[in-house]
């Protein structure tokens, strides 16, 4: 392992978060070792991660039995399990959260993916889950779908920290940023503290998986990084805007850009491609555990992302000429992502029910 390479990512100003959580890694000290030895300063989760954690281990069995005996079933039982795990993780990251003044040291819990197109229910769930977790460094993940955007604004206005998930295009990112800014502006107008944290999670690798068969060899596996570079330029422009500078004068925090889905799907590629290519200050890269370990073992870093804007636009232009409609594909990827989380969610609830019956 090269703890120096993970530390060098942080030296560039990028936070390294883990896109995984299991009760096992909490119990055996693995997460604590990643924090101490590999510069991990935050953590994200989603329905697929929890589905794999519950299905693939016995760490949750006793808790499932006890909660079932207490009358908990379905979503209620799952959220108790998830909040227990994430509260423990949040406590591990709490010193980082305090040292960074609230910028870093966050964990994330997602609302039910079945609410992705239900604004009112998403908002109600976000407020409830955040109150139940009772941790200042816990984000509630809300998808950046058209129906999710009003819920994001209302959650920020209500003081709930939000991780906006399932963003794929620049337009989707900017819409999420707009929802965040409106929520903060409304808090200022109402005389409330404008310091409500948020991150905007841009999914990277799914672009390349969706287009590999359609693109000529020179353009394959370049789309995800180019989209990341394009969004990063828009992010930097937004931070420098009069609007954001005005909010900063009131004490508001900027919504940080987070690169998600950064595990390499194509085994013929560098196993830390999206880590080495997306290093940029004032951003976050949340990576699967296997990618974290690969990067720590033999990782390298390319030039800072801030130098790649012009190259990104050239790549995107060539990909558009090759027949890829980026806006349409981005909407499709967002819809498919929401559907995939619903599938994992349904499987998770089935696994919990089957384990409940078997263990009983």
Report all structural domains of the chain as residue ranges with CATH numbers, in order of start. Answer: 3-45+96-331 (3.20.20.70)
The pTM of the full predicted model, rounded to 2 decimals, is 0.95
In this prediction, residue 330 carries a pLDDT of 98
Give the separation between CA 242 and CA 246, rounded to whole angstroms.
Answer: 6
280, 296 Cβ separation under 8 angstroms: no
Q: Which residue's entry shows tokens 């080495």? A: 276
Give the separation between CA 18 and CA 117, rounded to whole angstroms.
Answer: 27
Which SS3 state, helix, strand or coil, does residue 68 take? helix
| Farthest CA pair distance, the chain | 60
Which SS3 state, helix, strand or coil, does residue 175 take? helix
Give the separation between CA 215 and CA 223, rounded to whole angstroms.
Answer: 10
pLDDT digit string (tens) for the chain, length 360 residues: 666 889 999 899 999 999 999 999 999 999 999 999 999 999 999 999 999 999 888 999 999 999 999 999 999 999 999 999 999 999 999 999 999 999 999 999 999 999 988 999 999 999 999 999 999 999 999 999 999 999 999 999 999 999 999 999 999 999 999 999 999 999 999 999 999 999 999 999 999 999 999 999 999 999 999 999 999 999 999 999 999 999 999 999 999 999 999 999 888 889 999 999 999 999 999 999 999 999 999 999 988 776 556 789 999 999 999 999 999 999 999 999 999 999 999 999 999 998 888 877
In this prediction, residue 153 carries a pLDDT of 98
- The contacts of residue 2 (CB under 8 Å, 6+ apart) are 296, 297, 298, 299
Catalytic residue annotation = 141
What sections of the chain are H helices per DSSP?
3-11, 23-27, 30-38, 47-55, 61-69, 74-99, 119-133, 148-157, 170-189, 205-211, 223-239, 242-249, 273-276, 289-298, 309-321, 326-359
**Helix 30-38 vs helix 289-298: angle between axes, to the nearest 10 degrees?**
40
256, 199 Cβ separation under 8 angstroms: yes
In this prediction, residue 45 carries a pLDDT of 94
């Amino acid at each position: 392992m090269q703890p120096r390479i993970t530390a060098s990512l942080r030296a560039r100003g990028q936070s390294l978060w883990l896109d995984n959580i299991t009760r096992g890694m909490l119990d055996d000290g693995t997460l604590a070792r990643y924090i101490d030895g590999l510069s991990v300063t935050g953590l994200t989760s989603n329905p697929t991660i929890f589905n794999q954690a519950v299905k693939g281990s016995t760490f949750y069995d006793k808790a499932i039995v006890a909660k079932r005996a207490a009358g908990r079933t379905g979503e209620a039982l799952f959220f108790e399990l998830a909040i227990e795990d994430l509260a423990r993780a949040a406590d591990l990251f709490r010193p980082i959260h305090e040292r960074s003044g609230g910028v870093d040291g966050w964990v994330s819990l997602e609302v039910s993916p079945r609410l992705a197109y239900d604004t009112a229910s998403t908002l109600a769930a976000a407020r409830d889950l955040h109150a139940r977790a009772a941790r200042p460094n816990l984000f509630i993940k809300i998808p950046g779908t058209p129906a999710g955007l009003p819920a994001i604004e209302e959650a920020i206005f209500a003081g709930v920290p939000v991780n906006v998930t399932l963003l794929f295009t620049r337009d989707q990112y900017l819409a999420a940023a707009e929802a965040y800014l409106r929520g903060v502006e409304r808090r200022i107008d109402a005389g409330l503290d404008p310091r409500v944290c948020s991150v905007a999670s841009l999914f990277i690798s799914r672009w390349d998986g969706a287009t590999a068969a359609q693109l000529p060899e020179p353009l394959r596996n370049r789309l995800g990084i180019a989209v990341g570079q394009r969004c990063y330029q828009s992010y930097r422009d937004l931070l420098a805007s009069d609007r954001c500078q005005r909010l900063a004068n009131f004490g508001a925090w900027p919504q940080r850009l987070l690169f998600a889905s950064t595990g390499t799907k194509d085994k013929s590629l560098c196993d830390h491609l999206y880590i080495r290519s997306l290093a940029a200050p004032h951003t976050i890269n949340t990576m699967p555990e296997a990618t974290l370990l690969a990067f720590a073992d033999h990782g390298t870093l390319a030039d800072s992302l801030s130098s790649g804007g012009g190259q990104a636009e050239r790549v995107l232009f060539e990909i558009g000429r090759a027949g890829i409609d980026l806006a349409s594909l981005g909407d499709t990827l967002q819809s498919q992502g929401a559907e995939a989380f619903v599938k994992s969610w349904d499987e998770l609830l089935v696994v919990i029910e089957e384990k409940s019956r078997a263990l009983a």
